Chain A
Amino acid sequence: MGNNDVLVVGSGISGIISALELANAGVNVYLLEKEAVVGGHSASFCCKATNVCSKCSACVVPDKIREAVINPRIRLLTNSTIKKLSGELGNFRVEITQQPRYIDVEKCIACGLCTEVCPADPKAVYPPTVEATPFCYILNEVLCLRFKGEKCDICRENCPTRAIEFELKPKEQELSVGAIIVATGFDVFDARKKGSLGYGRYANVLTGLDLEQIFTREGYLRLPVSGEEPHNIAFIQCVGSRDEDHDYCSQVCCKYAMKLAGLIKYQSPDTKVTIFYIDLQTAGKGFAQFYEEYKESIWFVRGVPVEILQTASGELEVRFENISQGKVCRDTFDLVVLSVGISPGKNSWGLARILGINLADDGFFDTKDSLSSNETNVDGIFLAGTCQGPKDIPDSVAHGIAAASKTIQALGGVASQRRGNQRGH
């Protein structure tokens, strides 16, 4: 007997889109997520609109997450990872381990009583972020007094729906599916690896992702320590892309840096913004016009600085080659943003081993041939999104839909073969 259900591994935007597309085509889907909330990286990006939409696509993510969570054909498995795989296209068996989350997603009504009564400081049980889905409270093992050996039971006693349960063990289960879509996404490049840029040492050196999260949280930009408005900001492109270790362009950094810079200029027009770059990746619909609009108000400098030092007064001194003057220059900024790129996920190697799929030289999952970007070396296992290589949100969405399409085509092939066999008997 075969099975037409599909397992989607990873619930970032690509995984969600694949799952939704399959569900809409009548396929039942298990959506596996290793974290407690779905959405992956894309759920943490901020809207970069000025008085007009800058088409950053961050807004599509929450809507799609909600659509997926309420879809009756999609079964969400959070805190879960794959342990073992056997079988083949049309008949895979997958062993899943689900870590306990101590608060039952089905029962939590997000009333907030547990946080109110929690005696720990800081509170060990708290609401997830505003956009989190499922919107279920989180119990932090590290902060919880009970996990420190004390006899605290206050939140469990006060929970009106009895959603809190301490005595939980990891749950094992086996799923039968016909095909698997891997959509495990990427890791943000760790800017600490570029020590000379000072990330992690200087408070006012941030990454693009930090900036996204600041805008999501606050809606405006202030310096991390002083809380003052920055007046002179530099963006440094290609941090963790296009270097010895990363033989690829991350495809998103030019876009997000320019859109964030545009947002900063819109909120405070007097702020000076400089973007250091190698090549501007302005291809793509409407992006060239965006660049035209901002090239007068933002200073674009060719060449990326390799060193940032903090002066005694706390400013950041950036050394770079000023090509138009033909000499090495120093300029000071009060905030430097590193446009960190997309790196392959650190767990990719482990997953590749479990699933038997190949990794490419650059660390992303490898495809069957250079043209078909969804198919792996294993029949019935498909790739969606940035786990296959860098992509922006619209490209990830398109790739997610395409993965669903390939899956349906493969399962359809299995089904018709089966029908053929039956006729033969």
Chain B
Amino acid sequence: METKIGIFLCNCGEAIRNIDFAATKEEVAQIPGVTCVNLSSNLCLKEGKEKMISCIKKENIDRVVVAACSPDFKEHFFRQVLESAGLNGHLFSMANIREQCSWAHEGDVTVKAVEVIKMAVNRARLLQPVKKKKFPVNREVLVFGGGFAAINAALQLSRVGLRTTLLEREAILGSETVELGSLCGFDISSMMSEVEGDENIEILTSAEVTAAAGKIGGFTVRIRKGGEEISHKYGAVVLATGYQTKLALEPELKSDINIVSQEKLCRMLEDPNLEIRPRTIGFMFDFSDENSRLSTLATLNNALAAKQKWDSEIYVFCKSVKVDGPGAEKLYREARDCGVVFLKCEARPRITADNGRVKIEAKDVFLGEDTILACDLLVAEELLLPSEGTEALSSLLNIRRDSRGFYQDENVHLYPVASEKKGIFFVGGCRGDLDLSRVLTDVSSVVVSVYELLSSGNILTEVEKVKADPQKCVACLTCIRVCPHDAIQLVRVDGGKEVAEVFDLACDACGVCAAICPAKAIKFRAYRDEEILAQIEAIGES
């Protein structure tokens, strides 16, 4: 069927003076397939919009070309005009005759303007509509983990009316969070009883996932609990699996009565039966791992507590104090005011066992001298690692991890809690070293995203943004390998042949598959190769 193209010229309030609009109008009207050409002086204002809509309806136009300013400036506006005229917004092509013709050149540019319009018309002829469709989604959410982040995520998800399953590997929830709570001054037990009393939250402890399949809106997960396996469908998955710490020590040393972790020190500080109070304590952080925000906070809190409780002499060895978190600088100042000594060293101090004490040899940059300290207790440097099972879970769900093994966010600038696989999110310690207020920010971010996805029970999305031609596809799997969103799978079509199929909900229309497909079977709907070639041909014609 012949397309009916309508061209709308705009002289921008008569501000474009170096284009002869009458001549342009006459010339572009000759292009085959063009039904009507309109000249306006204010296409982007209300009157212009109304004129455009009535013209599209009257002339039965099915492709629209606007020759005006930069698409960067007004394309979205004109697409909306098309939609309000009952046309698909993708049946639109724009010719920039203001910034790229009129403003870019001195003197008359009518010839160039005509050419730019011809290009847009050639493209318009090939445009295809991109339709929208509603996909039903499951309204339940699966949260992995049972710590601070997981519990808060479940509570907030329940608050926005989404049924949530908390899946914890251990026998009880919050086993590690209790200590964290006493350290940071919040009450985990009230949170836990709130979770347990919430009828919107199902708690599965001593449970693990054995298989996972599916995509956003419908992840099918097999859960093993107490020898039994069940299969359940969830609309979205939230990972809150946390982190673990490991002491960074010389191979000949190991954690013992003199060399302890921050956690052990916490317990010693709370122990009323502790026999000997350490008189000299050394702390170390920020040498082996620059991601030491949490170590810094733990050191500052524990050093202050030890000073108050035991009145010990405290020396802190570090490269830099990481104070880029809320309240950290205040704590640092408080610690120094109490007499905690900070020694900053470029190189990692040498630690040796010394007759029941620990000897620290360091070169402090401010004194410029070698410092030797014998201390009763060394709180060793801690490395922050992803918790056990992170690797297995990430391969089960097919999501990426960063160089340190934590979950890798899809967009570092915009949204650190989303994986590249739509519908899978992560919060808190499993994505890096975050203080508690940042963890809570994570949780709230995820909750609103999950709410947007699942609350209505279906998602409206454009379909066939990217489509593989079953005739051309040779099932080479290249697209499946490169797709960052895991949106492509092989399906069997009539005749038994296997071909690639794009799952619209998971697809982000990035176009990587279309670019790489060796058989040129995959087409990127919004800008196909033919459209670009047609535009180039238009230049060749004149």
- Given the interface pairs A251-B324, A402-B445, the reply to whether A57 lies near B413 with Cβ below 8 Å is yes
Could you say which residues of chain B place their CB within 8 Å of the CB of A372? Answer: 437, 440
Contacts of A405 in B (CB 8 A): 156, 444-445, 447-448, 451
- Contact (A24, B159) CB under 8 Å given A111-B13, A281-B323: no
Which of A111, A283, A395, A408 is in CB contact (< 8 Å) with B448? A408
With a cutoff of 8 Å between Cβ atoms, the chain A residues found around residue B14 in the complex are 160
Which residues of chain B come closer than 8 Å to A394, judged between CB atoms? 412-414, 416
Interface residues of B in 358-382 (CB under 8 A from A): 365-366, 368
Q: B154-187 CB contact bits vs A (8 Å, 1 = yes)?
A: 0010011100000000000000000000001110
State whether the Cβ of A353 lies closer than 8 Å to any Cβ in chain B: no
Please state if A24 and B15 are interface contacts (CB–CB under 8 Å). no
Q: Which residues of B contact A284 (CB under 8 A)?
A: 291, 324, 432
A251 to B328, CA, bound (A): 11
Additional A-B contact list (7), CB under 8 Å, known A286-B412, A402-B442, A402-B445: A112-B15, A282-B320, A283-B324, A323-B365, A324-B368, A398-B442, A402-B443
Tally of A-B Cβ pairs under 8 angstroms: 175
The answer for the CA separation of A399 and B69 in the assembled complex, in Å, is: 36
Tell me which of A146-154, A198-206, A222-230, A241-249 binds B: A241-249
Q: Is the beta-carbon distance between B159 and A371 smaller than 8 angstroms?
A: no
Contact status B413-A302, CB under 8 Å:
no
- Asked whether B414 lies within 8 Å of A60 as measured between CB atoms, the reply is yes
B435-460: which residues lie under 8 A (CB-CB) from chain A? 436-438, 440-445, 447-449, 451-452, 455
Would B444 and A402 count as touching, CB distance under 8 A? yes
User: Which one of B41, B329, B368, B413 contacts A160 once the chains associate, using CB atoms below 8 Å?
Assistant: B41
Query: Distance (Å) between the CB of B139 and the closest chain A CB?
Result: 15
Closest CB in chain A relative to B532 CB, distance in Å: 23
Minimum CB–CB distance from B505 to chain A (whole Å) comes to: 16
Report how far A59 CA is from B440 CA in the complex, Å: 26
How far does the Cβ of A130 sit from chain B's closest Cβ, in whole Å? 10
> B441 touching A402 by the CB < 8 A rule?
yes
Is there an interface contact between A389 and B41, defined as CB atoms closer than 8 Å?
no
Please give, as numbers and ranges, the residues of chain A lying within 8 Å of B290 by CB-CB distance.
Answer: 282-283, 287-288, 291
From 306 to 358 in chain B, residues with beta carbon under 8 angstroms from any chain A beta carbon are 319-330, 333, 344
- In the complex, the chain B residue whose C-beta lies closest to that of A24 is B452
Contact of B291 among A111, A288, A323 (CB under 8 A): A288
Q: Is A107 interfacial (CB-CB < 8 Å)?
A: yes
| In the bound complex, CA of A66 to CA of B72 (Å) | 10
Given contacts A283-B324, A401-B448, A409-B160, contact A161 B45 (CB under 8 A): yes
- List, in ascending order, chain A residues with CB within 8 A of B156's CB: 405, 409
Contact with B along A89-112 (1 / 0, CB 8 A): 000000000000000001101111
Tally of contact residues, A, Cβ under 8 A: 64
- B contact residues vs A (CB 8 Å cutoff): 12-15, 41-42, 44-46, 69, 73, 76-77, 156, 159-161, 184-186, 290-293, 319-330, 333, 344, 365-366, 368, 402-403, 409, 412-417, 432-433, 436-438, 440-445, 447-449, 451-452, 455
Contact with B along A33-67 (1 / 0, CB 8 A): 00000000000000000000001010110000010
**A233-258 CB contacts (< 8 Å) to partner B:** 242, 247-249, 251, 254
Please tell me if A373 contacts chain B, counting CB pairs below 8 Å.
yes
B448's closest neighbor in chain A, by CB? Answer: A405
Is A87 engaged at the interface, CB distance under 8 Å to the other chain? no
Judged by a CB distance under 8 angstroms, whether A314 is at the interface is no
A283 & B433 in contact (Cβ 8 Å cutoff): yes
- Chain A residue contacts of B333, Cβ below 8 A: 247
Please tell me which one of the listed residues A110, A302, A371, A393 contacts residue B436 in the complex, with CB atoms under 8 A apart: A371
Selected A-B contacts with CB under 8 Å, 5 pairs: A60-B414, A160-B15, A285-B416, A302-B365, A371-B184
Which 3 pairs of residues, A with B, have the shortest CB-CB distance? A160-B13, A111-B15, A402-B444
C-alpha spacing A218/B395, complex, angstroms: 46
| Cα(A373)–Cα(B403), bound, Å | 30
Cα–Cα distance between A292 and B276 once the two chains are bound (Å) = 42
Q: Are A401 and B449 in contact (CB under 8 A)?
A: yes
Asked if B412 contacts A55 (CB within 8 A), the reply is yes
The docked-state distance in angstroms from the alpha carbon of A409 to that of B293 is 30
- Contacting A247 at CB < 8 Å: which of B329, B368, B417? B329
Per the 8 Å Cβ criterion, residues 102-159 of A in contact with B are: 106-107, 109-113, 135, 159
Tell whether A25 is near chain B: CB-to-CB under 8 Å: yes
